[in-house]
């Protein structure tokens, strides 16, 4: 039988709001602006003592009453969609409490491996998501709107804005839906199979301001596409690219295989740890760009690279971690299974003039088996698998390759516990465990841990 948690996760996945659905990424060293950004984030001395910027006294617009920080935060945390959406399991809790809960959970799961460092929280834990998704619907009058699937049904609950999503992206989403009626564009209906527009996906570049709008349609013929693009760009000249993606299958996946660039380059770029990365619609990029830089900083600190090492970046996405490490390593070998992400990664290395990173499109476990069989060596392995964690093929090959250090980045402390258990049972020791809050308001926790032998 499915547990409540499984059911909720499946629904979140359909809604594309799953903070855990690892399918997005970046950061730069000692760039003044970024160092400042990183400093703005608060490292909780203890999770319970986390300071919040929103504790500053603030004047309410309506009256002269001064509201205290906690009240102000409470107001910001009010979400009218909370019950029906279910994506933000912790939204009812003050942020300080959310961090305490996460710290406790990490301690319970991972405490037996060593000291769990205090979780690194955000200064402003709202509107951090750079990727926004909406399911498209039309009302009886033919007006378009977007929302999320209601629990256990195909009913779409209208959602006009979200506490954790990028606000500009939410506004653009509403504009796209607002254009539908005048273009006689109907939302696709999963039950009847009629209609055209299925989903809207928007990705934003935190440092570049670039914006990508992906219109997911049920059929490849996009009526009046040039005029639609023109009308949308008139409303939002800040959009830098528009892509039409065709998904004609009955699936919980949002994006289909075919796509056509309607405007711009077909991807956005963002800057992470001082390097520039291009991100295509289907490539993974971390959804919280502010915390990602902190996460990658920790990973680099733990790796202690000197410039002489051979490094593996496994589950590499668009190549972010490996490219950030490349300045301090002799050679980086990156492996990733998603072809679009590997294509982005190769373009990214070229764009950043990086020559010592090599990319391989392969299953990370199988790739590692071949490396071990060929007697190849690696000094440091960064691994950043999806929620399911790594597999025995990968872990056993890791044990054969015997890297001095393994930096394991995980978005699921449960599978992390399992994998750390296997590695510590076979010669490795856990040296550091650092949780980072990449997903405020939700129960998700990202962890970077260091193992050595
Ligand atoms: N390290 C990257 C991406 C992490 S997300 C970053 O920080 O942005 C996990 C990545 O693993 C995704 O890009 C996904 O496509 C990839 N992946 C999933 N299963 C894989 C497998 N079996 N082998 C290799 N890569 C895999």
Q: How confident is the model at residue 10 (pLDDT cuts 50, 70, 90)?
A: low
Q: Report pTM.
A: 0.87
The predicted-structure confidence for 185-214, as pLDDT tens digits, reads as follows: 999 998 899 999 999 999 999 999 999 999
Residue 317 backbone phi and psi in degrees, to 5: 55, -130
| Helix segments in 130-206, DSSP class H | 167-179
* C-alpha angle 410-416-420 in degrees, rounded to nearest 5: 125
Q: What's the mean pLDDT when you consider all of the chain? A: 88
Does the CB atom of residue 336 touch ligand 1 within 6 A? yes
Average pLDDT over residues 404-420: 98
266 Cβ closer than 6 Å to some ligand 1 atom: no
Residue 201 exposure: Cα atoms within 13 Å on the Cβ side: 27
Ligand 1 pocket member 338 (CB < 6 A)? yes
Q: Is 341 in the pocket of ligand 1 (CB under 6 A)?
A: yes
Mutate which of 361, 383, 386 for ligand 1? The one with the most ligand atoms within 8 Å of its CB, which is 386
Q: The domain 131-271: what is its CATH number?
A: 2.40.50.1070
Residue 385 CA, closest ligand 1 atom number: 9
Q: Is residue 162 flagged as an active site residue?
A: no
Give Cα 194 distance to the centre of its chain: 32
pLDDT at position 315 is: 98
**Ligand 1: does its nearest atom lie under 6 Å from the Cβ of 340?**
no
> Rounded distance, CA 115 to CA 279, Å?
36
* Cα-to-centroid distance, 253 and ligand 1 (Å): 17
Contact by Cβ (8 Å): 11, 85: no
Catalytic residue of the set 79, 88, 162, 411: 411
Query: What are the structural domain ranges in the chain?
Result: 131-271, 284-452
pLDDT value at 137 more than 50: yes
Would you identify the CATH topology of the domain 284-452? Rossmann fold (3.40.50)
CA separation (Å) from 63 to 66, 72, 160, 204?
8, 14, 27, 35
> Is the predicted pLDDT of residue 133 greater than 90, yes or no?
yes
Give the burial class of 226: count Cβ atoms within 10 A of its Cβ; 0-12 exposed, 13-18 middle, 19 or more buried.
exposed
Q: What contacts 252, CB < 8 A, 6 or more positions away? A: 10, 13, 14
Rounded to 5°, angle at Cα 216 from 213 and 219: 140
Domains 131-271 and 284-452 equal at CATH topology level: no
Count Cβ atoms within 10 A of the Cβ of residue 103 and give its class: 0-12 exposed, 13-18 middle, 19 or more buried. buried
């Amino acid at each position: 039988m499915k547990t409540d948690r499984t059911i909720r996760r499946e629904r979140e996945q359909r809604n594309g709001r799953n903070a855990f659905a690892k399918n997005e990424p970046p950061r730069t060293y000692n760039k003044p602006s970024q160092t400042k950004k990183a400093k703005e984030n608060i490292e909780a001395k203890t999770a319970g003592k986390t300071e919040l910027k929103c504790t500053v006294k603030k004047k309410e617009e309506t009256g002269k009453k001064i509201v205290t920080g906690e009240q102000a935060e409470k107001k910001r945390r009010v979400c009218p969609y909370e019950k029906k959406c279910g994506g933000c399991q912790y939204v009812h809790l003050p942020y300080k409490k959310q961090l305490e809960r996460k710290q406790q959970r990490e301690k319970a799961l991972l405490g037996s491996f060593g000291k769990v460092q205090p979780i690194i929280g955000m200064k402003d834990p709202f509107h951090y998501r750079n990727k926004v998704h909406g399911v498209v619907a039309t009302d009886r009058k033919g007006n378009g709107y977007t929302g999320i699937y209601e629990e256990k049904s195909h009913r779409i609950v209208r959602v006009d804005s979200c506490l954790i999503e990028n606000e500009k992206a939410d506004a653009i989403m509403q504009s796209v839906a607002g254009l539908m009626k005048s273009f006689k564009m109907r939302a696709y209906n999963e039950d009847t199979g009629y209609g055209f527009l299925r989903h809207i996906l928007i990705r934003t570049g935190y440092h570049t301001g670039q914006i990508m709008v992906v219109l997911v349609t049920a059929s490849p013929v996009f009526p009046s596409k040039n005029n639609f693009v023109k009308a949308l760009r008139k409303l939002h000249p800040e959009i830098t690219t528009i892509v039409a993606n065709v998904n004609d299958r009955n699936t919980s996946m949002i994006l289909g295989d075919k796509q056509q660039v309607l405007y711009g380059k077909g991807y956005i770029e963002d800057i992470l740890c001082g390097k520039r990365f291009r991100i295509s619609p289907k490539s993974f990029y971390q959804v919280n760009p502010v915390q990602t830089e902190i996460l990658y900083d920790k990973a680099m600190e733990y790796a202690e690279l000197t410039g002489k090492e051979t490094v593996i970046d496994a589950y590499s996405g668009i190549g972010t971690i490996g490219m950030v490490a490349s300045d301090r390593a002799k050679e980086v070998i990156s492996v990733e299974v998603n072809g679009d992400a590997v294509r982005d990664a190769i373009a990214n290395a070229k764009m950043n003039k990086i020559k010592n990173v090599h990319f391989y499109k392969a299953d990370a476990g199988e790739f590692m088996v071949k490396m071990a069989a060929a007697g190849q060596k690696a000094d440091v392995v960064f691994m950043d698998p999806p929620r399911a964690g790594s597999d025995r093929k990968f872990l056993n090959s890791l044990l054969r390759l015997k890297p001095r250090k393994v930096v394991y980045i995980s978005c699921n402390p449960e599978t992390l516990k399992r994998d750390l258990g296997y590695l510590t049972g076979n010669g490795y020791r856990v040296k550091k465990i650092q949780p980072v809050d990449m997903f405020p308001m939700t129960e998700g926790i990202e962890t970077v841990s260091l193992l050595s032998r």
